[in-house]
Each structure stands twice: as structure tokens, then as C-alpha cells.
Amino acid sequence: MLATRLTRLAAAVALATGCVGCDLLLRLREDLELTADSTSLGAGESVRVSVQRKASWFRAAGPVDPSQITYWTTSESMLVVEPDGWVTCVGTAGQPTESAWIAANNGASHGHLIFGLRPDGPGPTLELVTATADMPPVPQKAQGPFAPCCSTLLALKEGQQMRFRIQSRATRRELTSSETGTRYTLFFGSGIPNDSRPSVITGGPDTVTARTFLLDDKQGVMTAPDTIGSLNYARVIVFFRNGPLVGWREIVVIHK
């Protein structure tokens, strides 16, 4: 994880400064090559990343076992990545254009790919509909410019359950259960999908993780952690896909 933290730091510096040379230097030191059919995505558009091992003086170029690849994103509020390498633009933080990196690790090997992001696009084609009446308001201090586009924030108190359903925006067909082909990916601030230890990247407490924020697609219920410790609030981005249809929602967990 140290290599991931260092790569994230380098990515942040390169993006903040527009340092093309930084990107080139990083690529020269990487031994994985990431490619995609397109590296320009509008909101709601997806593409799958492919990973190839670069040739070196002692090793031939070749594919990498997909089950052994770990992906992460430099900005989960703008560009999410699923465990199998599908990448989707979910916003641009209100800007006309933005950029984010997707990186991949395979043991000690790593590589990255930069995506250009645009607000135009189909947007979410799936929506999350809540069926819980007593949900709290989102605290003003938790509202900011870095939320994903195209949906309003939801809030849950510590330990609170929320009933929900996923449906197609076009047909209204319910697609909540994984038996319909829907799969869920959760982000907790580290950029790593379904992260059980986001503290390794964020440095914060592991109170809201893939182990404590529970999603039951069979019952259509999400359950917030019993406690968020000393935090005032914590953010969770819930991303969901059913074939080519995608949707997302940000949830803020707050104290009781």
C-alpha cells in the first residue's frame, strides 16, 4: 500500500500542476501499461481498462491475470473504477473539464492511465429510490463542490437502516437484486473499490468501510455503521451497474 500512497501523491501533484513531464517520468518507472478504447468520458459514460505487462530486458510483454489486479482512482467523486476494471465518469466537480487517474497494481508492479472528463454525457441511467421516511437532512457543512453529479446527497444516522430500490430511469424496471445482474461498488475516500481499510490511504479512522457499511441487495437495505467515532460525518459513494446501465449516489453518515 505504500507504493499506492506514493503514486497517489505523485498523481495529485501532476494533476494539480498540469505537469506533463511528471506523467512521462512516472510512466518510465512503471512496469504495467493501461489502455482503454477511449480516455475521454462524459458523465455516465464507461470504458473498460486493459492491463498489459511491459517488456523489459528480462521479461516479455504479456497480459496480467485479471483476478490479481487491484485498481484505484485519484478522484472517486469524478471517476469510479470497479474491481474488474470498468471505469465510469460520475462528474467533474462543476468544472467544464477535469482529469483523474486510474491506476492498477499487480504485486509490486504498477501503472496508470489519465482520463479527461466532461459534464456532457448520458448521466446516470439507473437511479436509487429511497423508501425510508425518517431520513435526516444533510448537514450544511457536509455539502460541497466535490459530490458526484446528477443526484442529491442522502444522509443516514449512525446505525440507521435505509430501504431502497434500484430502477431503470427509462423503463422503471426494478433492478435492485444482484439476481437481476446488478452489482454494487462502494467507495470510502481512499479511491479503492470496496475498501475494507481506507485508513491505509486516507490516514483517518476505519469506522466507515466495506466491513461496517452494509448493503443487502436481496432485502434492499443499507445499514450505516453503529459509530463513526470522532468524525463529524463520513461519505460513502454507492455505484451500481446492470449491464450498460449505471447509477450512483453519495451518502453521508452522521452522528445520531
As a whole number, mean pLDDT of residues 217-225 equals: 97
Residue 62 has pLDDT above 70, yes or no: yes
As a whole number, mean pLDDT of residues 170-185 equals: 98
One fold for 2-118 and 126-254: yes
Domain ranges of the chain: 2-118, 126-254
Q: How far apart are the first and last CA of the chain?
A: 33
Place of cell 491505509: 200
pTM of structure: 0.89
Residue 255 has which C-alpha cell?
A: 452522528
| Cβ-Cβ contacts under 8 Å for 117 (sequence gap 6 or more) | 40, 41, 42, 43, 78, 79, 89, 91, 92, 97, 98, 99, 100
As a whole number, mean pLDDT of residues 238-256 equals: 96
Helix, strand or coil, per DSSP, at residue 94: coil
Share of the chain above pLDDT 70, in %: 86
Residue 9 has which C-alpha cell?
A: 501523491
| pLDDT greater at residue 135 or residue 227 | 227
Q: What number of residues does the chain have? A: 256
Task: Return the CATH fold of 126-254.
Answer: Immunoglobulin-like (2.60.40)
Rounded Cα distance between 89 and 42, Å, is 6
* Per-residue model confidence (pLDDT) at position 50: 95
Rounded Cα distance between 28 and 24, Å, is 6
Q: What is the CATH number of domain 2-118?
A: 2.60.40.1080
Beta bridge partners of 113: 102
Residue 226 has which C-alpha cell?
A: 453503529
